[in-house]
Structure 1
Amino acid sequence: MHEFEVLADAVRRKLLAVLAVGEQPAGTLVDIARSEFGISQPAVSQHLRVLRDNGFATARAEGARRVYALDPAGLDAAEAELSRLRDPLGQRLDALHTEIARGRRAARTGETATTEEAS
C-alpha cells in the first residue's frame, strides 16, 4: 500500500495523531476510534494492522496487551515522496530566482556605468 493510501483514511490519521503523543495500549486506541468513528474493535484492529504493515506503527507485547508506538519510518517515506513531487517545481523556482537576481544585477551595473559616464 502506498504511503498516501495509508494516510488517506481518517481513522488511521487519528490513530497516528494519538500515537504521535506517545505509546498507547491497543484498548485505548480502540476506544478512541470507536467513540469518534463508531467502528467496531475488529475494524480498528485492521487499521492498526495496516499501520504496522506499512511502517507507520510498531506493536509490542506488554503482558496480555499490545502497546503501539509511532514508527517514524512511514512518515519519513511519505515525506520523501512529497519532497520528490515538490522538488522539480523547487528547482524551477530556484532557477527563476537566480535569473531575476542576474537581471537586477545587470540593471544595476548598467545604471552605475551610465551614471559614471555622465559625470
Structure 2
Amino acid sequence: MTNAPAFAALAEPMRQTIFERLSERPMAVRELAAGLPITRPAVSQHLKVLKEAHLVHDEAQGTRRIYSIDPAGLGEIRAWLDRFWDRALAAYAEAAEREERT
C-alpha cells in the first residue's frame, strides 16, 4: 500500500483538525462537528476521505457511528517515515566514525 492517500487526506486543514480531535478519543460525527465551522454532513465527508485513506475506522453503537484513529493505517505511515529516520541515523553514525578516524 502506498502512503499517498493518507498524506493527501491529511493535507487538507479541516481533515487535520478532525484527525487531531480523534487523537484525543473516539467520537461520533455530532461531537466532532461541535465547535467546527462546518456542517455535520461536511464532517462526514471528511471522515469518509480519512477512512478511505485507512486513517480512521468506525464502529456502530446503536444508531451512531463512533470514529477513531486506525492504528494499522497510522502504523504504516510511521513505519514508512521510520525508514528515513533509520537511514539518517545510520548516515550520521557513519560520518561520526569517519570523523573519529581522521
| TM bracket (short chain) | 0.7 to 0.9
Q: Which of 16, 20, 33 is the matching residue for 1:17?
A: 20
Tell me which residue corresponds to 1:92: 91
The count of residues paired between Structure 1 and Structure 2 equals 99
Which of 1 and 2 has higher RCO (CA within 8 Å, sep 6+)?
Answer: 2
Unaligned 5+ segments in structure 1 are 104-119
Tell me which residue corresponds to 1:76: 75
TM-superposition CA deviations, 1:25-60 (whole Å, max 9, x none): 12111224xx3xx22322211110111122211111
> Secondary structure in 2 aligned to 1:2?
helix
Q: TM-score, normalised by structure 1?
A: 0.70
CA-based RMSD of the aligned residues comes to: 1.9
Task: Letter of the 1:41 partner, please give it.
Answer: R
Q: TM-score, normalised by structure 2?
A: 0.80
Q: How many angstroms apart in 2 are the aligned matches of 1:66 and 1:97?
A: 52
How far residue 62 of structure 1 moved from its aligned partner, in angstroms, is 0.9
Q: Identical aligned pairs, as a percentage?
A: 31
Select the structure of larger CA radius of gyration: 1
